[in-house]
Structure 1
């Protein structure tokens, strides 16, 4: 049985009871590792203004953590015509949580800052990825109809940077900028690349050594050439959000920079995946609950980021590892069973009243979150 057969896609849905399927530990491990990097990236962001080492580490993480997450999400997506239940899941798993958490952010800003500007077209902080997942799902079936879907996705990701009127409204610029990675994940599944090349089972020592060397080399490059990265504003390039006009002026070759960053992200993501354990770990099952971490961790970090307590922390060799450890702890805590039980109505709402057919939003024995993690309820 291939890995794809063992772990069904995010949009898989049938009208009859499905046979039990064996989970592949690697995918849950990879998913949780990616969400840990997301929390670490957000947790260390305030340190970059006072520490070059922290800035270099931040660039190291941001070069591949969201592309890797998008690749995994795409791997467990289907490009076929959606069923009614799958279309309902876009509403219940993406749109409704988006509205809920935008409302919570509006309330939080009003209570803390004394002001709020509710605007569903401008996602708050991390919520852009929810909209991105919804747009990815809508666009993928059309891309799959084309002869070279990867090439078209790459053209979209690079070309959108030249269009100045595509901005952060509904996170469209960032979504299209990352479109290639999601499509790549789907393509790897569609072409059965992982099974045919035994990428999960076969991992000799030289692959692990090479992967580690590449990640270390990128870390060294982030540190040694930090002045260069600051001069070209690499940090904002890695967001895949701003137009080239905002980053490089009207230079016609700006798209080549994004192409290089996309290639870099693919290589670094592959190296990161190559180093992850294949067997079940004590924390592997937490990879089934990444949306809890993704949606909740920003509320935990918000007071630390906005209060200024993360500024001017010296020495870096103490505070950077400490903040990293704290971020890892936050990821573990937010994916724990008590937190899931408490926040399930917000993260996994069941708005049956919205549908003419209440079965469309009803719970089932198995459910997939927007990133493709299939789990038992």
Structure 2
């Protein structure tokens, strides 16, 4: 091909509606979980809904991220994406939250080692992307990540600094998402006839129904054993109050259940495009921005104490509306410099060899 030949067109990668549907539903559940948090202390119904959502929603979100992660040797382009897509947004939004806390509380304390509210996910995602190519070189990456996750829970020194506790604890779900793609389960699922699909969906509905009934009937016991703190995956067992040697079995059980529920969740996702499919490409905007809208509900007593029954569905409806609004294109245009900073100024433009040495132009090489 000469320089005069037309360049071949690169076909854009076709998006699979199932995964965009899963992305948007998962991030909407994240918003709902954060929105109803102030209600769970005084309402068993709210706490039941909260536990139901937290049993699988964050594992699903991490799984989806792992499904689309690259496991090959990281190249310059991939490493740049880690910086522009994850590290820079973290620094930007952590700085913004520091200013918010300063304006509200009067104390200015800039601490990039401790993530504000939901920003832990960005730190964890950066580590997961970097670690995955090395982890999958091992023979049993999923089993190894599960063992590491359970074992790490015994050490209180593995805490929330740089989101280390959640990074290690939730790593198996990231690897699980990668494993699903490696086994090409999406293609097999999409190829199944409707009658088989609905058998699996019926089983998924039965599983979620059983989970909801179990939580509702045992809500006092679940409060007593502090199961919520296990579902957050951010504390060591002794910190929660479990010094026993078998405490890791609780995390393992929660983890296995969450993986099964994640598969059931994906089975219930529409395989075709829906009204919210296009919204699934905006999950990071929703994740980073929804906390600013929910912050007043979290930090004020407006939802504290015993509330009428209609407050819970009203808050859920509000959270769904927030997810829809933050998915809109005008939000992307306004906040793209914060959520997706390009930062071309940050990277050197000189061509380099594989060893990183500078390639000099011919007139200088002589």
Q: Tell me which residue corresponds to 2:308.
A: 315
Q: Tell me which residue corresponds to 1:222.
A: 215
Pairing 1:301–2:294 present: yes
Shift of 1:323: 0.5
Shift of 1:282: 1.4
Counterpart CA distance in 2 for 1:261 and 1:199 is 31
Pairing 1:292–2:285 present: yes
Range that drifts further, 286-295 or 271-280: 271-280
Residues 39 and 358 of structure 1: is their aligned pair in 2 closer, same or farther, counting only changes over 3 Å? Answer: farther
Counterpart CA distance in 1 for 2:79 and 2:315 is 40
- In structure 1, the residue corresponding to 2:130 is in which secondary structure? helix
Alignment of 1:112-127 (within 5 A): 112-127=104-119
Deviation digits for residues 181-204 of structure 1 (CA, Å, limit 9, x no counterpart): 000000111222332455776553
Structure 1 runs, 4 residues or longer, greater than 4 Å off? 197-203
Counterpart CA distance in 1 for 2:236 and 2:283 is 30
* Contact 1:194/1:200, CA 8 A, preserved across alignment: no
Q: Tell me which residue corresponds to 2:127.
A: 135
Residues 307 and 270 of structure 1: is their aligned pair in 2 closer, same or farther, counting only changes over 3 Å? Answer: same
Alignment of 1:1-377 (within 5 A): 18-196=10-188, 198=190, 203-312=196-305, 314-316=307-309, 318-357=310-349
Range that drifts further, 96-105 or 21-30: 21-30
Shift of 1:313: 5.1
Deviation digits for residues 167-193 of structure 1 (CA, Å, limit 9, x no counterpart): 000001011100000000001112223
Which stretches in structure 2 are left out of the alignment for 5+ residues? 1-6, 353-366
Residues 322 and 197 of structure 1: is their aligned pair in 2 closer, same or farther, counting only changes over 3 Å? Answer: closer
Deviation digits for residues 254-304 of structure 1 (CA, Å, limit 9, x no counterpart): 111111001110111111111121111111111001000000000110011
**Larger radius of gyration between Structure 1 and Structure 2:** 2
Which stretches in structure 1 are left out of the alignment for 5+ residues? 1-14, 361-377
Counterpart CA distance in 2 for 1:16 and 1:38 is 41
Range that drifts further, 191-200 or 128-137: 191-200
* Contact 2:38/2:297, CA 8 A, preserved across alignment: no
Residues 176 and 303 of structure 1: is their aligned pair in 2 closer, same or farther, counting only changes over 3 Å? Answer: same
What TM-score, normalized by structure 2, do the two folds share?
0.90
CA RMSD in angstroms, aligned pairs only: 1.9
- In structure 1, the residue corresponding to 2:139 is in which secondary structure? coil
User: What is the number of equivalent residue pairs in this alignment?
Assistant: 345
